[in-house]
A and B are shown apart, each in its own frame.
Chain A
Amino acid sequence: MKVAYFSPMPPERTGVADYSALLLPALGRKLDLEVARRGRRRASRAADVALYHVGNNPDSHGWIVDALRHSPARRPRVVVLHDFVLHHLVAGVTVGRRDGHGYLDAMEREHGVVGRLLAHGVLDKRIPPLWESRPEEFPLAGFVLQHATGLIVHSRTVRALALSAGFEGPIWVVPHPAWPVPAVDPELVATGPTIGCFGVVNSSKRIPELLRAFAGLRERHPAATLLLVGPTSPGFDLDRRLQRLGLADDGLVRESWVDEQRLWALMAGVDVCVNLRHPTMGETSGSVIRSLSLGKPLVVSDVGWFSELPGDVAVKVPVDGREVETLEAALELLLAREDVRSTMGTAAAALARREHDLDRVADLYAGALEQAVGGRAVGDAVVREVSEAAADVGISPKAAEAGEIARRLAEVELG
């Protein structure tokens, strides 16, 4: 089966480019792949199905959405939805291309007259851009979903969101694949217990809450260190926050962008990994996947995909009025209890092997694509045979029994 594959690819520095670089070799052993060059709008005529990786970044994914919108209707189109909230992407391919009407239409289509009025407010600069201020309230995923015949998502959360957005095609939940753990020596940044947080440093990663919790923890564990690895978002004043909490000179180790090898080494050297999030755009976290592979105990926010992690690998912190206290207590527990860290780490590594194994993920992709191509004919054949058998014994389509049969078919996703 031939698959036209649309994705950002290295050397682009995006999570989705890294993802595809990891997935492609394994998927290529199962399917005949044709990777589209950046900017290409049409898939090869020979392709049986086209696969589009879509995330929220318009620079990386704008051309992919263009290709999706121009794809011929006869070919199945499967979208890998890396984020559910696509407002930034939609703004980029409309407002960013001087297509204000496109943005107005997208907002009206998904959020009615109120949406259109708000969009006018944005275009007239009367209100701040919604993709920066309130994207999660206006995800605009329908802009992409309307062109897809099937979806691949990484979490049950996004599956539920897509269903509630009215998507009626098949949705396959395929876990994020795990990278093979490279042979690295753990890099220890401190002699005492170390908490690591890897990723962009900003408010939506709950860095302010993490810093406050850590400052509280340091009062009882003065030898503890917080390692923050990742670039700081523009406008996020980390230094001022550190000074205010008394962490500017002690207790915090800061690394900005680091290469892959060093990332693994630093992560391998910490005792606990923290990965918080709010609001969530429906995304998964490559950093969490790496940490699972390394068998590190995790502390995450109890939101979105992170909530779906099993309780034996991650302590989940609700995003509520007591978030900082809960976070501090979780870190306290993990620093104090080596046995808990060890048990959680073992479970984390087992989860990475079982659920996120690269070959397994590639096989789930192949399964989704094979069903995208042949599944409809199969579903129709099953429904036809069941319907005929029901009709043979006098069950009319409107009978209660027919409703029961339809429910059972839907339950096992056969109808």
Chain B
Amino acid sequence: MRVAVVRPQVPFARGGAEIFTDRLVDELRARGHEADLVSIPFKWYPGTRVLTQAFMWRLLDLEEADGKPIDLVVATKFPSYLVRHRNKRVWLVHQFRQAYELDRTELGQFGDSPEDRAVRRKIQDLDRLALGEAKRLFSTSRNVADRLERSTGLASEVLPHPPQELAYRCEGYGDFVLSVNRLDRAKRIDLLLEAAALDPALEVVVVGDGPDRPRLEALARDRGLNGRARFAGRVGDEELAELYGRCLAVFYAPVDEDFGMVPFEAFLSEKPVLTTTDAGGPLEIVTDGRTGLVVAPEAREVANATGWLRAHRDEAATFGRAGREIAAEVTWERALGKLLA
């Protein structure tokens, strides 16, 4: 089968969606399909630029390539699903969240002007139209599916995908708590740093880069975390697997996250996940007292939880192993079986 996987690309940025779609293409190829990635740069500001950029997808003709038909198009996130195709399937990573639940929060982008309000609504209209055209509609998590149904009335099937391929292993339960994220405000890494300020025994390793890094580094300095909070930046696969393998636990508490592969990566390393009650998607697999700890989104609560894990390493290991069983259920074989059915 000839499959085009479509995704928008923010130049110079790489995150979960990019890892997921790259891997999807690889997995399709590994199963004998002719698969390729189709990408267009995406810039969502200023003003109506988000709409004109979205519209570019509508002009694409992916019915065939080089004289041969494309049998299937798999779209992943806004605005790639505006693409036209007779067999368009959407495996939704997320909608344009600024137009939905992030609106009128500090993470939103639209103001109160009539034009801003209308642009936001237009994005919602585009979603209803473009997602409504899809022959099959999947969401990467229950959280994403629920948001989709609330906002458009469209029902989708929950279809999680495995995390990136790493040499996952467990090398014990060390003294540090690991954070793996793109560094932006929505990921709330400051919660972990503030917790470290409250708990002098807490050591933190922050993996990832992004626009919030200067603020986070300044915060660590201000709180006197010298030596206890290490910003590792982007790391290679082997180093990441090693950090997962050695850490005590993984902290992952974005605001109402879509899905998040980090908990699966932690679980495959047999590590418990510490998250918050408002984290969204991660709560579908992180269960308090079973596969990790779920606390209120407050630094004191996070500090107490990390302290408890340090004092209860056997329980931390039990949580991690329970998580591994959940993660092992999510395979490409199973996911692609449903996607291509």
CB closest chain-B residue, reference A368: B121
Contacts of B115 in A (CB 8 A): 374, 377-378, 381
Tell me which of A1, A377, A405, A413 contacts B129 (CB under 8 A): A413
A411 located at the interface, meaning its Cβ lies under 8 Å from any Cβ of chain B in the complex? yes
Query: Are A371's CB and B126's CB within 8 A?
Result: no
Give complex CA distance A45, B135 in Å: 47
Residues of B within 8 A of A (CB): 47-49, 51-52, 55, 58-59, 82, 113-122, 124-126, 129-130, 149-150, 153, 155
Query: From A76, which residue of chain B is reached at the shortest CB distance?
Result: B114
- Name the residue of chain B whose CB is nearest to the CB of A49: B114
Min Cβ gap A48→B in Å is: 7
Contact (Cβ within 8 A) A378 B58: no
How far does the Cβ of A306 sit from chain B's closest Cβ, in whole Å?
19
Complex formed: what's the CA distance from A91 to B113 in Å?
41
**Residue contact A386 to B52, C-beta cutoff 8 Å:** yes
With A381-B48, A412-B126, A412-B129 in contact, is A371–B55 under 8 Å at CB?
Answer: no
Listed A/B pairs (22) with beta-carbon separation below 8 Å: A1-B114, A48-B114, A367-B124, A370-B114, A371-B121, A371-B122, A374-B115, A375-B118, A375-B122, A377-B114, A377-B118, A378-B119, A381-B47, A381-B115, A382-B52, A385-B49, A385-B52, A408-B59, A411-B58, A412-B55, A412-B58, A414-B55
Most chain A beta carbons < 10 A, residue from B47, B48, B52, B114: B114
CB B85 to nearest CB in A, in angstroms, measures 14
User: How many residues on chain A are close to B (CB under 8 Å)?
Assistant: 27
Tell me whether A386 and B55 are in contact (CB under 8 A).
yes
**Is the beta-carbon distance between B153 and A360 smaller than 8 angstroms?**
yes
Residues of B within 8 A of A26 (CB): none
**CB <8 Å contact, B122 and A378:** yes
Given contacts A367-B124, A412-B55, A412-B126, whether A378 and B118 have CB atoms under 8 Å apart is: yes
Query: Which residues of A have CB within 8 Å of B130?
Result: 412
A382 and B51 contact, Cβ closer than 8 Å, known pairs A411-B58, A412-B58: yes
Residues of B within 8 Å of A381, CB to CB, are 47-48, 115
Cross-chain contact of A408 among B47, B49, B58, B114 (Cβ < 8 A): B58
Nearest Cβ on chain B to A223's Cβ, whole angstroms: 38
Cα(A386)–Cα(B126), bound, Å: 17
The answer on a CB contact under 8 Å between A371 and B118 is yes
CA of A385 to CA of B51, assembled, Å: 10
By beta carbon, the residue of chain B nearest A413 is B125
Residue A354 lies at the interface, judged by CB distance under 8 Å to chain B: yes
With a cutoff of 8 Å between Cβ atoms, the chain B residues found around residue A354 in the complex are 149, 153, 155
Residues of A within 8 A of B120 (CB): 370
- Report whether over half of chain A's contact residues are helix, strand or loop; otherwise say mixed: helix
Interface residues as binary, A260-281 with B (CB distance below 8 Å gives 1, 0 otherwise): 0000000000000000000000
B145 to chain A, nearest CB (A): 12
Mask: chain A, 389-415; 1 = CB below 8 Å from B; 0 = not:
100000000000000110011011110
Q: Which 3 A-B pairs have the closest CB atoms?
A: A374-B114, A374-B118, A370-B117
Binding site secondary structure of chain B: helix
Chain B nearest CB, measured from A321 CB (Å):
36
* Interface residues, chain A, with chain B CB atoms under 8 Å away: 1, 48, 354-355, 360, 367-368, 370-371, 373-375, 377-378, 381-382, 385-386, 389, 404-405, 408-409, 411-414
The residues of A that contact B129 with a CB separation of less than 8 Å are 412-413
Nearest opposing residue in chain B for A351, CB measure: B153
B122 cross-chain contacts in A, Cβ below 8 A? 371, 375, 378, 414
Given pairs A381-B47, A381-B48, 13 additional interface contacts (CB within 8 A): A48-B114, A354-B155, A373-B118, A375-B121, A378-B118, A382-B51, A385-B52, A386-B55, A408-B55, A408-B59, A412-B126, A412-B129, A412-B130
Q: Which of A374, A386, A405 contacts B116 (CB 8 A)?
A: A374
Q: How far does the Cβ of A347 sit from chain B's closest Cβ, in whole Å?
A: 12
Contact A373-B55, Cβ < 8 Å, known A367-B121, A367-B124: no
Q: In the bound complex, what is the Cα–Cα distance between A168 and B124 (angstroms)?
A: 21
Question: Which of B52, B55, B130: most chain A Cβ within 10 A?
Answer: B55
Q: Is the CB of A412 within 8 A of B118?
A: no
A389 cross-chain contacts in B, Cβ below 8 A: 52
Chain A residue at minimal CB-CB distance from B150: A360
> What chain A residues lie within 8 Å of B55 (beta carbons)?
382, 386, 408-409, 412, 414
* Shortest Cβ distance from residue A387 to the other chain B in the assembled complex, whole angstroms: 11
Chain A residues with Cβ below 8 Å from B121 are 367-368, 370-371, 375
Min distance, Cβ A260 to any Cβ of chain B, angstroms: 27
- Minimum CB–CB distance for A175 against chain B, Å: 8
B125, B126, B149 — most chain A CB neighbours (10 Å): B125
Contacts of B58 in A (CB 8 A): 408, 411-412
Q: Whole-angstrom distance between the alpha carbons of A360 and B146 in the complex? A: 13
Q: Which residue of A lies closest to B48 (CB)?
A: A381
Complex: how many Å from CA A19 to CA B175? 61
Q: Which residues of A contact B149 (CB under 8 A)?
A: 354
| A404 contact set on B, CB distance < 8 A | 59
Minimum CB distance partner of A389 in chain B: B52
Find chain B residues with CB under 8 A from A414 CB. 51, 55, 122
Q: Give the CA-CA distance A279 to B125 in the complex, in Å.
A: 32
Tell me which residues across on chain B come within 8 A of A408, comparing CB atoms. 55, 58-59
In angstroms, how far is the closest chain A Cβ from the Cβ of B123? 10
Question: CB-CB < 8 A to A413: which residues of B?
Answer: 125, 129
